Amino acid sequence: MEEEKRKKLHHCGAQNIPRFTISWCLLLSIFAVPACARAFDYADALTKSLLYFESQRSGRLPYNQRVTWRDHSGLTDGLEQGVDLVGGYYDAGDHVKFGLPMAFTVTMLSWGVTEYRQQIAVAGELEHAMEAIKWGTDYFIKAHTSPNVLWAEVGDGDTDHYCWQRPEDMTTSRQAYKIDKDNPGSDLAGETAAAMAAASMVFKQTNPHYSHLLLHHAQQLFEFGDEYRGKYDASVEEVKSYYASVSGYMDELLWAALWLYKATDKEEYLRYVVDKADSFGGIGWAITEFSWEVKYAGLQVIASKLLAEKKHKEHAHVLEQYRSKAEYYICSCLDKNINGSNVERTPGGLLYVRQWNNMQYVSTAAFLLTVYSDFLQSSSQKLRCHGGMVGHEEILDFAKSQIDYILGSNPMNMSYLVGYGSNYPTRVHHRAASIVSYRESKGFIGCTQGYDYWYSRLKPNPNVLVGALVGGPDLQDDFVDRRSNYMQTEACTYNTAPLVGVLAKLLQLQDQNLDQNPTSPLLASY
């Protein structure tokens, strides 16, 4: 049914109506509008972004698995510890299951669906989006074995990185690590609670029993994280060189409480967010990045949105302070902070936070900008930056510019979303994608054999990691498509997750513009 709707609308995807392209280009050159090649197929990008999560699956793959170069893996995870930890996601190009980034991935996918459910459904992708979320939450349910125990990681980064193997052949340690009362991890418990609360909203209508179960786990995990305070990387030191919790756990506790408030409407959670706003840094930290590690900007955006509802009037004073920090973040992305910092940009216009996997910050920024733009539009407000007032269109336009850069509107003419368009990274730093598919060739490939033969090969990867958003270019827009260049060519689940909602929003906009004005040259910009 949704598939049908999508097919009907699909003609609207600008790249599917080439007969108009010539006249647009002509018109565009008459009016000196740059590059007619700017119309992107957001429907295709959306479909591909969701496909990516199937490549990252660990565990027993289902009959309807679409990424067929993958097969079952990690089927004994947890066995040594006497707990079933089969399933979940590999975070990137290796085979460790890291709890914190996995939970953030699921939170962002779920947030995308709660904001843009309708648009994702019209694109025919709602089921895939829900499957991607459920693959994560099914695992969290298993990993949360009792109220105050949560399994934090399976495998360890150090031994894993000695090997270049397919997940199906994996011979590395599958040691599992947990947090509990004596070894707390409020950041991990908080983020997992946020993920499960957000996901409970996604499944509320279609699968109320599952939704309720998720909420139950989320509430317990939040209580556990709040009662037994501590950073998870002090309890599970193995994560330190990979996903250290530098910003601490206070952002995750506020974040979890806010998601629980959204999911349950229970005043106690809102009170937590309000009462601890100051002491937990919620209204103190003006920050210019949003990631698996630092949740403040996301928290501040959601808190700002509560201001629009009358029932939150009594908390307006604190919520306004959250909002002022949210605006600081949005203004910094728009380069409109005068008395504060702005996010750097490359000459090609890409937001630039840091060298290693910069794209994660671009996709989270695009998501927050899009959500904030919608909020301003629906409440008829403008953004107040020191550099001036900004309308919702300008914010969305900027978010779109970041997505378009990702999809190919950049100095390298390269799509950083793998498998999209004709020019994309072909040597993604990813063990499974870079080695012949297990389904094609079942002969065991050992640890160093993988390095010697497959990793060091100059040829493109045999399997295309469709929908992966790689680390991306450097501060000069340069990108080197080499497998050993992991800062640029590795992709992570939390890079792609925020894209899902933004792509759905841009697709809707494109469809609306085409419906309203099917011959306008201005369409080319949407």
Whether 72 is a known active-site residue: answer: no
Q: How far is the CB of 414 from ligand NAG (least distance, A)?
A: 8
Q: How far is the CB of 412 from ligand NAG (least distance, A)?
A: 5
Residue 25 lies near ligand NAG (rule: CB under 6 A): no
3-state secondary structure 181-221: CCCCCHHHHHHHHHHHHHHHHHCCCCCHHHHHHHHHHHHHH
Size of the site for ligand NAG (CB under 6 A): 5
Neighbours of 182 (CB within 10 A): 9
Of 413 and 517, the one with the shorter C-beta distance to ligand NAG is: 413
Q: Please pick, from the candidates 22, 308, 316, 338, the single residue that binds ligand NAG as defined by CB under 6 A.
A: 338
Q: Which region, left, alpha or beta, applies to residue 32 given φ > 0 means left and ψ of -120 to 50 means alpha?
A: left
- Residue labelled with tokens 């499957």: 131
Q: Are strands 97-98 and 150-154 parallel, antiparallel or unpaired?
A: antiparallel
* Integer CA distances (angstroms), 324 to 282, 319, 363, 368, 520, in order: 11, 9, 22, 15, 38
d(CA 88, CA 102): 8
Of 408 and 501, the one with the shorter C-beta distance to ligand NAG is: 408
Q: How far is the CB of 331 from ligand NAG (least distance, A)?
A: 11
Of 24 and 224, the one with the shorter C-beta distance to ligand NAG is: 24
Q: How far is the CB of 410 from ligand NAG (least distance, A)?
A: 9
Q: Please pick, from the candidates 339, 380, 422, 516, the single residue that binds ligand NAG as defined by CB under 6 A.
A: 339
Q: How far is the CB of 41 from ligand NAG (least distance, A)?
A: 18
x-or-dash string of contact with ligand NAG, 359-398, rule CB under 6 A: ---------------------------x------------
Neighbours of 412 (CB within 10 A): 16
x-or-dash string of contact with ligand NAG, 427-456, rule CB under 6 A: ------------------------------
d(CA 229, CA 242): 21
Q: Are 66 and 60 in contact (CB under 8 A)?
A: no
**Tokens linked to 281:** 């840094």
The contacts of residue 52 (CB under 8 Å, 6+ apart) are 418, 465, 466, 467, 468, 491, 493, 496
Of 313 and 386, the one with the shorter C-beta distance to ligand NAG is: 386
Q: Which region, left, alpha or beta, applies to residue 209 given φ > 0 means left and ψ of -120 to 50 means alpha?
A: alpha
Q: Please pick, from the candidates 83, 234, 412, 480, the single residue that binds ligand NAG as defined by CB under 6 A.
A: 412
Q: Please pick, from the candidates 206, 413, 441, 512, the single residue that binds ligand NAG as defined by CB under 6 A.
A: 413
Catalytic position from the list 95, 128, 429, 430: 429
Of 171 and 413, the one with the shorter C-beta distance to ligand NAG is: 413
Of 339 and 516, the one with the shorter C-beta distance to ligand NAG is: 339
Q: What residues line the site for ligand NAG (CB under 6 A)?
A: 338-339, 386, 412-413
**Annotated catalytic sites, by residue?**
429
